[in-house]
Structure 1
């Protein structure tokens, strides 16, 4: 997940230390930094002249024989094999236990469901906690224990597992990130991307496998996920924000609409503060996306339904991608495209499974065509083949999408049997996508502007102190332990606020529409991720690889 992005030195005015670097070294290295911003960076770096290389610390030597073999692909294949076995266990054990709770609408037709769960509150139940208003069913999560079956043990198991899972992968990810961001004692950097997973990749993979097996054990012992205490809208919103962060990550390669603005068109804005959200989230996105995937993962029990299986596939894909950090497969455009568009399949399956096929009530068209609109407008054009064919061909997917949508909605009727009246629903999901994208962009730009103002005012004193430090150390060094502890505490506090927000809204039974609640969570999580990347992580991991001081 850590797409280690290099940026121009002007952009690095966000960091006070970069403001006072030797101007001559900045100018010499600037073009190299800009060209080193996507997955082809390592190949282009080998073609640079020796004069440019002299400005940068040398990379650690790599075995060409090792690099020729795709061990990252092998790890990915093991990941896919593991998940296939896990899904088999989900359905196999669930079937043996007689579980058949595929939908709340079938509650009264399943003895096991009536024994395990409360019916969904389709009809308001005045005076009953969380079931008293007409919107209660939209906020009610069906797959959780009855209140009388909940104990301290059922809560402790899942919350301890969730916290341990999240903190452990964050720690390993940070250690790997730090190792890649600073030179060793010989002034050499490790190679950024490789065909060979390092020890941190293996540890991350092992941790994620272990916690998936632990969650399966949790489901068949204490059962409940964190759904017993937190809001379903928060689980959905965390994934939405993770997907929106991917829009930032891919922005420099595919723009926002139909591949525009193109990388060539963006070059003149590369030093602008308006590009800071892209640089920051490309560098630090992994921590938030890991949190979003793990938070959602522990929300749901491993029930033997297709909706749960497709959902766990998505969170596993995110965690597998997070286990492949700094490998070349992590950069693969087709794999990253799959991570983005899987939600279209998952949401469609869930909507078909959980909502009755009654005229005017089906939800699958809104989800499938809504997420597909984001694919057609934005996500599709990051695939490499678009760069090798004429730009007019981008109209073809739009035309195909329009024909399918119009034809489908001639059969998809409202409750009165009228065609086309529901056509407007397909803009709801992309509307949320692009609105949150805009809000997140503006928040990070505002923070970046404030940081630039602060840096400009303190540059003299900062220059003096940094020069003294460099004269002692001679080369960039990792952050001191006290600063790492401070960032750790800040990180835990920041994301604890996210979880607390979900818990308090669920506890007080906030009676608002599901879409409104989702927007509240999306805005809150976007703000938190912006602050996290703009302040906390930059204290310990530089936005670009630091250079040794010039002699």
Structure 2
């Protein structure tokens, strides 16, 4: 059995090989192979090879790498027919329903799906021995079902690629944002409903998701990256710090976030969804509800509801109850840290851009600061006060790395442009 605590290589293969398939889709539609395909294709093949254990089984690792590269190419060419079909259905006439009218009914259905998991979810008789170390996943069945690995991975890949195909088709049509739903939105919603139903069945009969093969850190990192990418994506509307737009991320990073955030957010939600089993435990309810709402958001592409700031803020804030309930269930003692640290991001960044008055923002900020000082002061735990900066430091730290990367790419492009000018004038 693959070690679920250390195999980040397989997690990388699960990301890069589907990405390579999408680049091969470009090739199948007539584009020339570029550096993007070379990078993600090589990364996917290397990760697949590393996951196979090259030290113990070098030939098997080599075969795994080649199989991953070939599989990505074949899937990319096969996706062409699916994407062409979706593109042909985008503007087909349907009953006019506005995206905003779908939000509350969809949230109610998502809550109902969580309720069903609580009533009919399956708990195994015994789990593998839990080490107790932070980051080690504890809900893995001691006796795996013979079909578990095949069903979980095939279900994840089909769900992921079908979702990405909808985004790909929509971007190639250069759609405008409208209030009404297109047939594309209903197709994307059907894809996610089908993926959810498939995972419900797989989890009920075989229990384990991807957690048997990949580490929990990869699942946590995937959904956490949504919050970090949102900083760049929302910067033109709410700035980076307290609504100020004096310090902004590079324009290249903002354009990247706008163009590719759909793929990134869809991957994060889908990968995290298939990582966990549908388990009837309280700490799983909030995470499952949040993931289902992200699927709804994915289906609302190119509608005005998709970028409604109140709706998107609600999706960001759903991280808070899940984090707090998880810490309380695990008795980790980190409930206060997650509460105040995530609320710090709300005060510093997320509440700006909603059209709140300056007085309202000062009131919220003052109430937050007073509550934090009172909480730690009454408990005489001033040494824990810096904990409120953990999430902001992490999110802005990752954003900083993305900024440095975009600046490096800008510098390389400028050097290339100058060299071309020299070649032309010389």
**What TM-score, normalized to structure 1?**
0.57
Q: CA deviation at 1:240?
A: 1.2
1:140 partner SS: coil
**2:121 equivalent to 1:144:** no
Change (3 A) 1:402 1:291: same
**2:234 equivalent to 1:250:** yes
Q: 2:373 aligns with which of 406, 417, 432?
A: 406
Counterpart-to-counterpart distance in 1, 2:225 and 2:99? 27
Q: CA deviation at 1:406?
A: 1.6
1:257 partner SS: coil
Determine which structure has more spread, i.e. the larger CA radius of gyration.
1
Q: 1:331 aligns with which of 292, 298, 307?
A: 307
Counterpart-to-counterpart distance in 2, 1:427 and 1:439? 18
Report the equivalent of 1:373. 344
2:341 partner SS: helix
List runs of 5+ in structure 1 lacking aligned partners.
Answer: 1-62, 100-111, 123-136, 181-189, 356-360, 413-417, 463-551
Q: How many aligned residue pairs are there?
A: 332
- Contact 1:173–1:200 (Cα < 8 Å) also in 2: no
**2:217 equivalent to 1:241:** no
Q: 2:318 aligns with which of 322, 330, 342?
A: 342
Q: CA deviation at 1:431?
A: 0.9
Higher mean C-alpha displacement, 227-236 vs 403-412: 403-412
**2:293 equivalent to 1:317:** yes
Report the equivalent of 2:150. 156
Q: 2:108 aligns with which of 78, 81, 86?
A: 81
Higher helix share: 2
Counterpart-to-counterpart distance in 2, 1:83 and 1:408? 34
Q: CA deviation at 1:423?
A: 1.9
Deviations 1:313-356 (A, max 9, x none): 2222222111101101012110011111111111011111221x
Deviations 1:473-500 (A, max 9, x none): xxxxxxxxxxxxxxxxxxxxxxxxxxxx
**2:168 equivalent to 1:174:** yes
Deviations 1:449-481 (A, max 9, x none): 32243245447999xxxxxxxxxxxxxxxxxxx
Counterpart-to-counterpart distance in 2, 1:341 and 1:84? 17
Q: CA deviation at 1:244?
A: 0.7
2:231 partner SS: helix
Change (3 A) 1:394 1:217: same
Q: CA deviation at 1:422?
A: 1.9
- Contact 2:127–2:140 (Cα < 8 Å) also in 1: yes
Deviations 1:267-311 (A, max 9, x none): xx8xxx932111221222111111111111111111112221111
Relative contact order higher in (CA < 8 Å, ≥ 6 apart): 1
Change (3 A) 1:423 1:167: same
Change (3 A) 1:448 1:70: farther
Report the equivalent of 1:216. 200
Counterpart-to-counterpart distance in 2, 1:309 and 1:455? 52
Report the equivalent of 1:444. 406
- Contact 2:111–2:289 (Cα < 8 Å) also in 1: no
Superposed counterparts of 1:190-209, under 5 Å: 190=175, 192-209=176-193
